[in-house]
């Protein structure tokens, strides 16, 4: 896939002519209406909701459902309306639950998306007015101020200290200075200053829209769907072969043709676990329900299980692994380093020097540094209110971080502005890379304060300090930058007269350095550790600087100190991903997709988290895309399979646990159902050779199938998660659902069930007891004992539904041999109580067999994973 340049698009039409924004009065209302009709509304392209019939058809295309439809047709052909009704009911329930979940998820996403639709201010007919963003057209004169969301691509025509946060589009956490003739992209946010610009592209033609338009392809099958499709094909072939074998053997032994056809079809139905779609749907629905309770929205039901199969978790940095806030973490003055405590923008925290808390009187150097940083500042701090429970920034987050740090030292910004009122300023720009303000002192003198990038401030043309001090400060600034901090140098000077602009930034004295960082979330390190313990390899993909990426990744344990970081501007990220690199910096959207593709080509199941437009293509390409709900863009949410309403990465790990529970329960049901089906087939094939002419009647087989695959099978789908689920690595992506020895367990357990059943039948036949009835009872009871032994955790409280389901099934089994109406239907007779007790005791071998099998053949660690639980490159695995 080729991803276009993310710069704003070429103009959609010629802007020249009367009434355009170029004459300063903006478009006329009539011209704007004409262009709106011609170019369309300024909205992002979205996928049209699928019609109901298409949703239903997609559910029915599942191979296992197709097998069930064929089984239903067989049973209808033989006038077995009861079993046909059961099978069709399962199909209807499965389809209905899947469709309803998809519709509910789309409504939830739509509700989230509606929160992002902004209004905009434009000049039309010479008057500034507010219009819906959807009504903007090419040529409109856009008016922007601090806090505004840029609603369309535009060319800047007027700029006053205009600073724009482009992280949603590029992934860069630092705001970007915009000068006149610069460009603005839709979806970015003005964090400081004001400006005007002529709109050059709207809707699908904007940079954001062009990315959104690439995410309309149909999603591929999930790992679970691929695995179940394989099981469905295998069962279909097996059922057809079995039908032919049983029919041939029966005819060879001289049985009536009609009877053998019925028996063959009956065994086909027995071989196909018709409850599997219902079990899968129930497990996924329960998982989705649990995830909703944990503030996650599941867009596609199979996405719950997909996370359980994930081997690589690729995540962005800003706001996902980090708090998405700028915080002062360290200060440097000639007296040494100081650490600043606290989180977010809340003005609570302490300053520590050499491990000791310091205050204003103890550290005049720090007080002077932070007073200057708060004075030379256009940001402000908003206290918690009804709209926001947290302290929040107004303006450039970097500047607000300085105000917060000053507050921690007891410096009140509002009082400071009163004591030292600002008289002049030179705003920050991308050429000078610094900002200066002048303030009136109480004695009439002027204090000039300057802050900016170290390379712009730490130079003899600005500072009057000795060269040795400047060099020492520059060296320390370099060390802090290498640790991933954004570093600012602060200087000031008091003068008797007001200097002109050219002289204002000369002859200053250095006060110190301020190191700012978007700190890791408090839960991030634990989340990364949980991923590693579960065998999931965390991979960081960010648009930020390599040093910043390395610092965060090292802090969180994604890499160790000294490990390589891939700079995507100078290295092919796809090749590095295939070699096992785990941190990628300065990644563009196209490179993010290349990384995801390389990981998938290497055989991994990849989950990608993100919130920005730049993450959209990668979210769409990953096996499962995870978007942030609070601060995520509409494009990211539309591309994702799972939306985290609380923006907590830890929720992804919880979802992975849910996915593993779902997958384990599906395998648990398959072991139970297929071992019972295999036992039924073995009994029918082996019985005649051991003196049992027709071990079971067709109605008896269908009855056992109904009571064992019904409620007990569904109850197994709600088994709780195994306590060790997240201490084991994920299943190899290439492994089938019957892999890891499950088919061997099916044969072993099925053999025990068949041996118990045939043994009871031979004993009863030899002792002149109602052998067919006791065979029927033993087969059902042994399978129910296996169901009880299949539990993930012992005890009644873990899954009381299973005990209730087995109890109901056992009652139905006894009803089949004691109720006269069922005796006539099933061809059974009432056995003696002593015979009933004997069969009950022998049937408990089914419970013992499956529990012992788990102890004797424990699950083994997949060899394809490294010792640390992380992945190895494809070349190493070969």
Helices (H) and strands (E) in the chain, counts: 32, 26
Asked if residue 368 and residue 357 are part of one domain, the reply reads yes
At residue 607, the 3 state secondary structure works out as strand
The strand pair at 486-495 and 446-452 is best described as: antiparallel
Q: Can you give the pLDDT at residue 278?
A: 65
What tokens were used for 42?
């300024």
Residue numbers of the domain that contains 779: 53-103+219-305+654-856
Whether residue 19 has pLDDT greater than 60:
no
Proportion of the chain above pLDDT 70, given as a percent: 79
Asked if residue 531 and residue 510 are part of one domain, the reply reads no
Is residue 126, in this structure, part of any structural domain at all?
no
Asked if residue 795 and residue 661 are part of one domain, the reply reads yes
User: Could you give the CA distance from residue 536 to residue 607 in angstroms, rounded to a whole number?
Assistant: 10
Structure confidence by residue, pLDDT tens digits, 662-711: 788 888 888 888 888 888 888 877 877 787 777 887 778 778 877 887 77
Helix axes 81-114, 52-60, angle to 10 degrees: 130
User: Could you give the CA distance from residue 388 to residue 456 in angstroms, rounded to a whole number?
Assistant: 37
Highest mean pLDDT among 105-114, 217-226, 574-583: 574-583
Structure confidence by residue, pLDDT tens digits, 415-426: 999 999 999 888
Cα separations (Å) of 509 from 362, 365, 470, 494? Answer: 21, 12, 10, 10
Asked if residue 413 and residue 448 are part of one domain, the reply reads yes
**Interval 278-304 mean pLDDT:** 73
CB 302, CB 284: distance < 8 Å:
yes
Radius of gyration of the chain (CA): 35
Asked if residue 486 and residue 382 are part of one domain, the reply reads yes
Domain boundary among 517, 539, 574: 517
> Which phi and psi angles does 701 have, rounded to 5°?
-60, -45
Structure confidence by residue, pLDDT tens digits, 766-779: 888 898 899 999 99
What tokens were used for 129?
């007015």
- What is the band of 21 on the pLDDT scale with cuts at 50, 70, 90? very low
Is residue 186, in this structure, part of any structural domain at all?
no
User: Is the Cα torsion angle 520, 523, 525, 531 positive or negative in sign?
Assistant: negative
Task: Give which of 226, 156, 162 is closest to 193, Cα–Cα.
Answer: 162
Structure confidence by residue, pLDDT tens digits, 366-378: 999 999 999 999 8
Asked if residue 265 and residue 335 are part of one domain, the reply reads no
User: Could you give the CA distance from residue 624 to residue 94 in angstroms, rounded to a whole number?
Assistant: 22
CB 165, CB 184: distance < 8 Å:
no
User: Could you give the CA distance from residue 530 to residue 651 in angstroms, rounded to a whole number?
Assistant: 11
Q: Can you give the pLDDT at residue 430?
A: 67
What tokens were used for 226?
């691929």
Contacts with 566 (C-beta within 8 Å, 6 or more apart), sequence order:
573, 576, 581, 583, 584, 585
User: Could you give the CA distance from residue 691 to residue 704 in angstroms, rounded to a whole number?
Assistant: 22
More confident residue, 578 or 108: 578
User: Could you give the CA distance from residue 489 to residue 514 in angstroms, rounded to a whole number?
Assistant: 6
Asked if residue 492 and residue 350 are part of one domain, the reply reads yes
Asked if residue 689 and residue 638 are part of one domain, the reply reads no
Task: Give which of 289, 301, 278 is closest to 712, Cα–Cα.
Answer: 278
Whether residue 474 has pLDDT greater than 90:
yes
Is residue 403, in this structure, part of any structural domain at all?
yes
Q: Can you give the pLDDT at residue 39?
A: 85
User: Could you give the CA distance from residue 397 to residue 149 in angstroms, rounded to a whole number?
Assistant: 16
Burial of 352 (0-12, 13-18, 19+ CB in 10 A): middle
Domain boundary among 653, 686, 708: 653
Asked if residue 842 and residue 705 are part of one domain, the reply reads yes
CATH of residue 606: 3.40.50.1000
Q: Can you give the pLDDT at residue 860?
A: 55
Structure confidence by residue, pLDDT tens digits, 555-572: 888 998 888 899 988 888
- What is the band of 2 on the pLDDT scale with cuts at 50, 70, 90? very low
The strand pair at 537-541 and 566-567 is best described as: unpaired
- The active-site residue, picked from 39, 153, 177, 316, is 316
Is residue 868, in this structure, part of any structural domain at all?
no
Whether residue 341 has pLDDT greater than 50:
yes
CB 458, CB 473: distance < 8 Å:
yes
- What is the band of 274 on the pLDDT scale with cuts at 50, 70, 90? low
> Which phi and psi angles does 832 have, rounded to 5°?
-70, 155
User: Structurally, how many domains does the chain consist of?
Assistant: 3
Task: Give which of 535, 55, 116 is closest to 311, Cα–Cα.
Answer: 535
Q: How far is CA 201 from the centre of its chain?
A: 31
Stated pTM of the model: 0.68
User: Could you give the CA distance from residue 509 to residue 713 in angstroms, rounded to a whole number?
Assistant: 78
User: Could you give the CA distance from residue 639 to residue 635 in angstroms, rounded to a whole number?
Assistant: 6
User: Could you give the CA distance from residue 794 to residue 437 in angstroms, rounded to a whole number?
Assistant: 71
- The tally of CA atoms less than 13 A away on the side-chain side of residue 835 is 23
Structure confidence by residue, pLDDT tens digits, 584-629: 988 887 888 899 999 988 888 899 988 777 777 888 888 888 888 7
Proportion of the chain above pLDDT 90, given as a percent: 19
Is residue 863, in this structure, part of any structural domain at all?
no
Asked if residue 679 and residue 632 are part of one domain, the reply reads no
Q: Can you give the pLDDT at residue 637?
A: 76
User: Is the Cα torsion angle 101, 102, 105, 107 positive or negative in sign?
Assistant: negative
Is residue 431, in this structure, part of any structural domain at all?
yes
CATH of residue 57: 1.20.1110.10
User: Could you give the CA distance from residue 491 to residue 504 in angstroms, rounded to a whole number?
Assistant: 12
The strand pair at 153-165 and 189-201 is best described as: antiparallel
- What is the band of 62 on the pLDDT scale with cuts at 50, 70, 90? low
Is residue 23, in this structure, part of any structural domain at all?
no
Q: How far is CA 246 from the centre of its chain?
A: 49
User: Could you give the CA distance from residue 784 to residue 805 in angstroms, rounded to a whole number?
Assistant: 10
At residue 519, the 3 state secondary structure works out as coil
What tokens were used for 838?
């004997």
**Interval 491-500 mean pLDDT:** 87
- What is the band of 762 on the pLDDT scale with cuts at 50, 70, 90? very high
The strand pair at 312-315 and 606-610 is best described as: parallel
CATH of residue 481: 3.40.1110.10
Whether residue 236 has pLDDT greater than 70:
no
Q: Can you give the pLDDT at residue 98?
A: 62
For the chain, what is the mean pLDDT? 79
Task: Give which of 740, 736, 732, 861 is closest to 311, Cα–Cα.
Answer: 732
- What is the band of 109 on the pLDDT scale with cuts at 50, 70, 90? very low
Domain boundary among 586, 620, 653: 653
Is residue 143, in this structure, part of any structural domain at all?
no
For residue 316, indicate whether it is catalytic: yes
- What is the band of 337 on the pLDDT scale with cuts at 50, 70, 90? very high
User: Could you give the CA distance from residue 288 to residue 282 in angstroms, rounded to a whole number?
Assistant: 10
Q: Can you give the pLDDT at residue 270?
A: 62
Asked if residue 828 and residue 788 are part of one domain, the reply reads yes
Q: Can you give the pLDDT at residue 838?
A: 92
Asked if residue 530 and residue 509 are part of one domain, the reply reads no
Q: Can you give the pLDDT at residue 865?
A: 44
User: Could you give the CA distance from residue 387 to residue 390 in angstroms, rounded to a whole number?
Assistant: 9
């Amino acid at each position: 896939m080729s991803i276009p340049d993310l710069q704003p698009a070429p103009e959609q039409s010629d802007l020249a002519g009367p009434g355009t924004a170029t004459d300063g009065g903006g478009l006329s209302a009539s011209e704007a209406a004409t262009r709106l009709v011609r170019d369309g509304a300024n909205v992002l392209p979205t996928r049209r909701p699928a019609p109901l019939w298409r949703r239903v058809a997609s559910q029915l295309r599942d191979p296992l459902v197709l097998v069930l439809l064929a089984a239903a047709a067989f049973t209808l052909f033989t006038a077995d309306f009861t079993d046909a009704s059961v099978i069709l009911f399962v199909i209807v329930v499965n389809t209905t639950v899947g469709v309803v979940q998809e519709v509910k998820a789309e409504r939830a996403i739509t509700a989230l998306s509606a929160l992002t639709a902004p209004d905009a201010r434009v000049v039309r007919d010479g008057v500034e007015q507010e219009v819906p963003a959807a009504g903007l057209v090419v040529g409109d004169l856009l008016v922007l101020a601090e806090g505004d969301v840029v609603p369309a691509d535009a060319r800047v025509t007027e700029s006053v200290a205009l600073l724009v946060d482009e992280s949603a589009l590029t992934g860069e956490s630092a705001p970007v200075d915009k000068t006149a003739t610069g460009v603005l992209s839709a979806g970015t946010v003005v964090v400081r200053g004001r400006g005007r610009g002529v709109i050059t592209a709207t809707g699908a033609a904007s940079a954001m829209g062009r990315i959104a338009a690439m995410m309309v392809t149909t999603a591929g099958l999930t790992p679970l769907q691929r695995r179940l499709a394989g099981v469905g094909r295998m069962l279909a072939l097996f059922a057809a072969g079995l039908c032919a074998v049983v029919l041939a053997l029966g005819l060879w032994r001289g049985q009536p043709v009609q009877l053998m056809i019925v028996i063959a079809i009956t065994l086909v139905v027995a071989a196909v676990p018709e409850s599997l779609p219902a079990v899968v749907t129930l497990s996924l629905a329960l998982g989705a329900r649990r995830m909703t309770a944990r503030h996650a929205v599941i867009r596609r039901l199979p996405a719950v299980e997909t996370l359980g199969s994930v081997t690589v978790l690729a995540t962005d940095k800003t706001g996902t692994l980090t708090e998405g806030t700028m915080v002062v973490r360290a200060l440097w003055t000639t007296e040494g380093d100081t650490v600043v405590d606290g989180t977010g923008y809340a003005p609570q925290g302490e300053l520590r020097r050499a491990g000791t808390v310091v205050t204003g009187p103890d550290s005049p150097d720090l007080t002077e540094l932070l007073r200057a940083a708060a004075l030379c500042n256009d940001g402000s701090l908003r206290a918690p209110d009804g709209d926001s429970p947290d302290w929040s920034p107004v303006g450039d987050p970097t500047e607000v971080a300085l105000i917060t740090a000053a507050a921690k030292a007891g410096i009140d910004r509002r009082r400071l502005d009163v004591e030292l009122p600002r008289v002049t300023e030179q705003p920050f720009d991308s050429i000078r890379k610094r900002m200066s303000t002048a303030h009136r002192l109480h004695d009439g003198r002027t204090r000039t304060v300057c802050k900016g990038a170290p390379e712009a401030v730490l130079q003899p043309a600005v500072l009057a300090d000795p060269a040795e001090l400047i060099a020492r400060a520059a060296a320390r600034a370099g060390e802090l930058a290498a640790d991933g901090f954004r570093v600012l140098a602060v200087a000031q000077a008091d003068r008797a007269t007001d200097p002109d602009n050219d002289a204002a930034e000369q002859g200053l004295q250095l006060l110190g350095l301020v190191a700012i960082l978007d700190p890791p979330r408090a839960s991030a390190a634990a989340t990364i550790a949980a991923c590693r313990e579960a065998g999931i390899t965390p991979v960081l993909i960010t648009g930020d600087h390599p040093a910043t990426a390395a610092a965060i990744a090292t802090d969180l344990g994604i890499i160790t100190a000294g490990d390589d970081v891939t700079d995507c501007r100078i290295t092919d990220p796809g090749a590095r991903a295939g070699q096992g690199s785990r941190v990628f910096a300065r990644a563009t959207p196209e490179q993010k997709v290349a990384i995801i593709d390389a990981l998938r080509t290497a055989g991994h199941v990849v989950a990608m988290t993100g919130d920005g437009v730049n993450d959209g293509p990668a979210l769409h390409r990953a096996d499962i895309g995870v978007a942030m709900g609070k601060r995520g863009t509409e494009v990211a949410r539309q591309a994702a399979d799972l939306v985290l309403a609380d923006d907590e990465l830890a929720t992804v790990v919880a979802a992975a646990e849910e996915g593993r529970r779902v997958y384990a329960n599906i395998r648990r049901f398959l072991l139970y159902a297929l071992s019972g089906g295999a036992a039924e087939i073995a009994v029918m094939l082996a019985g005649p050779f051991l003196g049992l002419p027709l071990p079971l009647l067709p109605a008896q087989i269908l009855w056992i199938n109904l009571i064992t695959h019904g409620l007990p099978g569904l109850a197994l789908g709600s088994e709780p998660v195994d306590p060790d689920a997240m201490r084991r690595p994920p299943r190899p992506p290439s492994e089938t659902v019957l892999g890891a020895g499950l088919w061997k367990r099916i044969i072993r357990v099925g053999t025990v069930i068949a041996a118990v059943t045939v043994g009871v039948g031979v004993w009863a036949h030899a002792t002149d007891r109602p052998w067919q009835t006791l065979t029927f009872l033993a087969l059902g009871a042994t399978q129910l004992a296996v169901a009880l032994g299949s539990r993930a955790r012992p005890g009644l409280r873990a899954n009381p539904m299973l005990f209730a389901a087995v109890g109901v099934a056992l009652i139905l089994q006894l009803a089949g041999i004691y109720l006269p109406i069922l005796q006539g239907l099933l061809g059974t007779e009432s056995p003696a109580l002593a015979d009933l007790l004997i069969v009950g005791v022998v049937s408990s071998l089914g419970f013992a067999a499956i529990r012992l099998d788990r102890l004797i053949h424990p699950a083994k660690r997949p060899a394809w994973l490294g010792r640390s639980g992380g992945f190895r490159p494809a070349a190493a695995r070969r």
